[in-house]
A and B are shown apart, each in its own frame.
Chain A
Amino acid sequence: MQNPSVIRTRPRRTSTATPARTLPLTFILLVIVCACVVGTGFFLAARQHFTSMDYGIKNSRLRDQLQNLEAEKRRLLLAREVALSPISVRKAARGIGLRENSESAQTIAVPAKSAPAKNRVEDLHLIKAATREEKRVTANPFVRTVLTAPVNVKDSGETRTRVVDSSKVRKDRNEVAALVKFR
């Protein structure tokens, strides 16, 4: 039953709702596209950022590597120079038992203190022989490493006396003749 005192001032709400305002599809698409663009932008920026950091790290490592290689190069250069140093070569030669001419001659010549008298006399001969040999070796150390004959020798006009031992010359001549004959 309907109460007559109640006056319906407004029409009863019907089930049919007021028609909803619908967004246009293009707008939605635009928003989505914009969101995608912004999102992609953020993504790319982040990616670039991390890539740059990665490159930075790699770059730093390469720089370190370069520095280490340069340091290594220097170390090797130093090692080469040390190895080539004549002083080191001499030390190394002595280390493996090599001796210079004069040293070896001295080694031969030094007689043992405890040697008997007879031996000592023999040693004395050895000393003399070694000394003679050493003198022979060291007296004329000239080695022609470049040329074996003088080039463009100019006559300077100077003269000097040359003392020639004729017996030695004769001996040399005989030796050469014997050598030729032998060959």
Chain B
Amino acid sequence: MAPRAKKKQRPNLKQTAFTRFMLVIAVFVVWIGGISVRLVHLQVQQHDWLREQAKGIRVDEKRTKHLRGTIYDRNGRALAISVNVKTLYADATRIADVKAAAKAVAKALNLNETKLARQLDEAKASDRRFVPLAKGLDAETVEKVNRILERPGITKADTPKFEGLHWREDQKRSYPYETLAAHVIGFSNTEGNGQAGIEQSKNDELYGAVIKKLQERDRLGRVYDETVTEKEPPKDVHLTISVPIQFAVDQALEKRVKESGSRSGSAVVIDNRTGEILAMSNYPTFDPNKLNGLNADNLRNAAIQSNYSPGSVFKLVTYGSALDKGLITPEGMIDSGNGTIEIAKHRFTDSHAIGRVTYKKALAHSSNVCAIKTSLRVGKETFYSYVQKFGFGKPTGVELPAETGGIVRAPERWYGDSLASMSIGYEIGVSALQMATAFATIANDGVRIQPHLIKEIRQSDESSIQLAKPERTQVVSTETARSLRTMLREVVVAGTGKRAQLDGYSSAGKTGTAWKFDPAIKAINRTKYVSSFIGFAPAENPAITIAVVMDEPKIGGRDGGGAAAPAFREIAQTVLPELNVAPDLDTPALVADTEEIPEAPGVDDSEGGDGRKAEAGGPRLNERDVDRPKALTPERTKPTTETPKPKSTGLPREVGVEPVKRIEQPKGQTRNKSRAVRVEYRT
């Protein structure tokens, strides 16, 4: 029998099972512990980093811009509107086969394949992720390109289904009416910032702010959640401009500028009852859709940005102030003598002597002598106050950038003959809009309403923003305005502005012809004119005021009556029916049957102003009769030595004046030395 000690012990199954169980548990514990530690490490230590990583994969940040606000005319026709366009760009780092990609894109967009391949190669070499390939494509083209570029098997959330190619949302500003009211509307640059006109002055309202979108996408690239952060959407601007009226004005102005061979022209149409500008036109103009290769001079809105010497149209202020002060009446008499007057040793002359006439006739014939005599009765302080009241010397406040305030010097800086010069529209700089506003004041019974271009600004929810009401000022009394209207009517009926007569409507206005200041010679150039006609219609109950200014007319009548009045007529003839203004006359214009009255810019020294009418109204500039007896004037200025020496303003201060004797001049100012210059005035 074998000893019991040697007998093989049977294993303790329970113990074994327990041990094994515990081993498994331990493994599990270690495993789970490891996982837990890792989890703690990931979620505590690397929490931020991981969250950003996850967001980067899941969340897509998209930045777009609101479409820039629209500019409408008064009837709701869009003058400037932004539309969505797309830019095709390449992420060069994701393009595997550059040649194939270049070939496909070149085919789709009709581009040069070689150039494109080179461009993509360079971009890939420098790891560029944004290579614009085609800009400003509309929806139709985008669809077409997507179809051409589609590759089977490409799983991309966005289009085109081509690896490495993407679309970027963009916007494009369009001006559907092209050149129409281009100077008023202006234009904006590619960044969506206004650069001129209303686009610039109302940029804050029109500007399309950035929209930030946080889009959460699933594994297929579909957006399932979106957080949008945006600023206030842009507003729409409604102008007082009317497209049909603006078009009529543009056409009439262009035609007149071409016919008269003028360098340029400006026209403004104002509703004198409200101060709303119905049209503002300049020629030559530009198309805001095509700014490349544009002549920068054409961008200038001369109607508000250019100063010019108004000439005889400024007699409105002269006679207006005298009437308002009760110094004259339209039927009162004034003697123009022999058509010459001498002030501060300078002689002013009329184109033809008219003798003793009523003030009405004096204005109708645009007598410089009568206007000067009237201004001398008014006095310089009173005259200056009326100049200011009419709004000269400061911007009108129209909602356009870079408006000029004109040039008006204070009386203490005037020369001895400044009052006389200013009374006939020299030594002063005005804009066409300022002049139009002055006439609109008379048309509106002496109440000046601030001219304005913006009718309404609408928010995205169609609610309107309250705009400040235009300023209203009583400049002259109603009676004065009525008297002035009668006088201005006479200008058209029997004066220098006969070409402004209308068919079916009565009209009133004033012609203006002024020599231009030439910066090259620092004096007036007597071969260059600024001719204007500013008036309103119907004469009795005016609905509109129209200002037409022609710069350097060369062909045909070069005075305001010949160069600008026909444009006034054409504009009024189109605009009045458009505004449903009832005709107040049943007779056609009689301009062809009546004798024309010439107008001189300020001097007529032909034959010594002996009463002979200048040939076809042309100023003859032969300097003669320098030793004529000095005219007596109520306001004889002090000797020149006592005259303050103002700084040079660049104004043609001696326009229309021939020096009797050389007088001391301030530095920087030269008197015109032209001798025996003859200007062929009218063909």
* A13-33 vs B, Cβ < 8 Å mask (1 yes, 0 no): 000000000000000000000
Residues of B within 8 A of A156 (CB): 486, 489, 506, 539-540
The chain A residue sitting closest to B172, CB to CB, is A78
Contact of B332 with A by CB under 8 A: no
Q: How far is the CA of A68 from the CA of B247 in the complex (A)?
A: 33
Specify which chain B residues have a CB less than 8 angstroms from the CB of A152 in the assembled complex.
Answer: 582
Residues in B with CB closer than 8 Å to A161 are 590, 594
Given A141-B573, A158-B493, A160-B493, A147:B593 Cβ within 8 A: no
Question: Beyond A60-B223, A71-B139, is A78–B577 a contact (Cβ under 8 Å)?
Answer: no
- Is the beta-carbon distance between A81 and B78 smaller than 8 angstroms? yes
B584 at the interface (CB under 8 A from A): yes
- A147 and B490 CA atoms in complex are apart in Å by 26
Closest residue of A by beta carbon distance from B140:
A75
Contact between B580 and A75 (Cβ–Cβ < 8 Å)?
Answer: no
Interface centre among A53, A75, A145 (most CB of B within 10 A): A75
A146-B540 Cα distance, complex, nearest whole Å = 19
Q: In the bound complex, do residue A85 and residue B222 qualify as a contact, i.e. CB atoms below 8 Å apart?
A: no
Residue B81 contacts which of A74, A158, A162 (CB distance < 8 angstroms)? A74
Whole-angstrom CA separation of A140 from B489 in the bound complex: 21
Q: Is the CB of B139 within 8 A of A72?
A: yes
Contact of B78 among A78, A149, A150 (CB under 8 A): A78
Which residues of B lie under 8 Å from residue A47 when comparing CB positions? Answer: none
What's the Cα separation between A122 and B539 when bound, in Å?
47
A39 adjacent to chain B (CB < 8 Å):
no
- Chain B hits for A68, CB < 8 A: 139
A153 within 8 A of B: yes
Contact residues in B for A52 (Cβ distance below 8 Å): 224
Taken together as a complex, chains A and B put the C-alpha atoms of A71 and B588 apart, in Å, by 51
Complex CA distance for A88 and B223, rounded to whole angstroms: 43
- How many residues of B sit at the interface, in one of the four size bands? 35 or more
Rounded to whole angstroms, the CA-CA distance of A142 and B585 in the bound complex is 12
| B174 contacts chain A at the CB level, 8 A cutoff | yes
Docked pose: A85 CA to B582 CA in angstroms: 27
Contact with A along B12-52 (1 / 0, CB 8 A): 00000000000000000000000000000000000000000
When the two chains form their complex, are residues B247 and A86 in contact, meaning their CB atoms are under 8 A apart? yes
**A87 interface residue, CB < 8 Å from B?**
yes
Contact with A along B61-78 (1 / 0, CB 8 A): 000000100000000011
Q: Is A78 within 8 A of B179, CB to CB?
A: no
Give the bracket for the number of chain A residues in contact with chain B. Answer: 35 or more
A88: chain B residues at CB < 8 Å are 178
Q: Across the interface, do A85 and B594 meet the contact criterion of CB distance under 8 Å?
A: no
- Which residues of B have CB within 8 Å of A142? 502-504, 573, 588
Residues in B neighbouring A72, C-beta threshold 8 A: 139
Residues of A within 8 A of B660 (CB): none
Residues of B with C-beta under 8 A to A56: 216, 223-226
Q: A46 near B: Cβ within 8 Å?
A: no
CB of A151 within 8 Å of the partner chain: yes
Contact present for B139 and A75 (CB under 8 Å)? yes
- Chain A residues lying within 8 Å of B540, measured Cβ to Cβ, are 154, 156
Closest to B84 in A: A71
Residues of B487-521 at the interface with A, using a CB-CB cut-off of 8 Å, are 489-490, 493-494, 502-504, 506
Give per-residue flags for B225-244: 1 if the beta carbon is below 8 A from chain A beta carbons, else 0: 11000000000000000011
Residue on B with the closest CB to A56? B224
Residues B587 and A162 in contact, CB atoms below 8 Å apart? yes
Q: Which of A125-183 contact B (CB under 8 A)?
A: 139-147, 149-154, 156, 158, 160-163
A86 CA to B574 CA in the complex, in Å?
Answer: 15
- Asked if B180 lies at the interface with its beta carbon under 8 angstroms from chain A, I say yes
Residue A36 at the chain B interface, CB threshold 8 Å: no
User: Interface code A82-112, partner B: CB below 8 Å = 1, 0 otherwise?
Assistant: 1011111000000000000000000000000
Question: Is B581 part of the contact surface with A, judged by Cβ < 8 Å?
Answer: yes
Residue A124 at the chain B interface, CB threshold 8 Å: no
- Bound CA span A52–B226, Å: 13
Looking at the assembled complex, report how far the CB atom of B22 sits from the nearest CB atom of chain A, in whole angstroms.
26
Q: Is the CB of B179 within 8 A of A87?
A: yes
Does A37 count as interface, using CB distance less than 8 angstroms?
no
Smallest CB gap from A52: residue in B: B224
Shortest CB-to-CB span from B304 to chain A, Å, is 23
Decide: A149 and B218 in contact? CB cutoff 8 A: no
Task: Indicate whether A57 sits within 8 Å of B222 (C-beta atoms), given known contacts A144-B583, A160-B494.
Answer: yes
Q: Are A81 and B594 in contact (CB under 8 A)?
A: no
Quick one: closest A residue to B539, CB to CB? A156
Query: How far apart sit A158 and B216, CA to CA, in the bound complex (Å)?
Result: 80
Find chain A residues with CB under 8 A from B130 CB. Answer: none
Q: Does A44 contact B (CB under 8 A)?
A: no
Q: Shortest Cβ distance from B174 into chain A, in angstroms? A: 5
Chain B residues, Cβ within 8 Å of A59: 226
Quick check: is A77 within 8 A (CB to CB) of the other chain? Answer: yes
**Other-chain contact of B82, A74, A85, A86 (Cβ < 8 Å):** A74
Q: How far is the CA of A143 from the CA of B573 in the complex (A)?
A: 9
Q: How far is the CA of A175 from the CA of B633 in the complex (A)?
A: 61
Is B410 interfacial (CB 8 A cutoff)? no
Contact partner of A78 (CB less than 8 A), chosen from B81, B218, B244, B586, is: B81
Whether the Cβ atoms of B224 and A85 lie closer than 8 Å is no
Closest Cβ of chain B to A63, distance in Å, is 7
- The verdict on B635 contacting chain A, using a C-beta distance below 8 Å, is no
CB distance from A139 to the nearest CB of B (A): 8
Determine the residue in chain B with the shortest Cβ distance to A145: B577
Interface check B306, CB cutoff 8 A: no
CA distance A59 to B577 in the complex (A): 52
Nearest-neighbour CB distance to chain B for A79, whole angstroms, equals 8
Instruction: Point out the residue from B67, B490, B493, B584 that lies within 8 Å of A150, measured CB to CB.
Output: B584
A82 surroundings in chain B (CB, below 8 A): 176
Looking at the assembled complex, report how far the CB atom of B254 sits from the nearest CB atom of chain A, in whole angstroms.
11
Q: Is the CB of A150 within 8 A of B82?
A: no
19 extra A-B contacts, CB within 8 A, seeds A146-B581, A160-B494: A57-B222, A57-B223, A59-B226, A71-B84, A72-B139, A77-B78, A77-B81, A78-B78, A81-B78, A84-B77, A85-B178, A87-B177, A88-B178, A142-B502, A142-B573, A142-B588, A144-B504, A146-B580, A149-B583
Chain B positions within 8 Å of A, measured between CB atoms, are: 67, 77-78, 81-84, 138-139, 174, 176-180, 215-216, 218, 222-226, 243-244, 247, 486, 489-490, 493-494, 502-504, 506, 539-540, 573, 577, 580-588, 590, 592-594
Could you list 28 examples of A-B contacts with CB < 8 Å? A56-B224, A56-B225, A74-B83, A75-B84, A77-B78, A78-B78, A78-B83, A78-B174, A81-B77, A86-B243, A87-B247, A140-B588, A142-B502, A142-B588, A144-B504, A146-B577, A146-B580, A146-B582, A147-B582, A149-B586, A150-B583, A150-B584, A150-B585, A151-B582, A151-B584, A156-B486, A161-B590, A161-B594
Chain A contacts to B: CB under 8 angstroms = 52-54, 56-57, 59-60, 63, 68, 71-72, 74-75, 77-78, 81-82, 84-88, 139-147, 149-154, 156, 158, 160-163
Which 7 pairs show the lowest CB-CB distances between chains A and B?
A142-B503, A56-B224, A81-B176, A60-B223, A163-B593, A71-B84, A82-B176
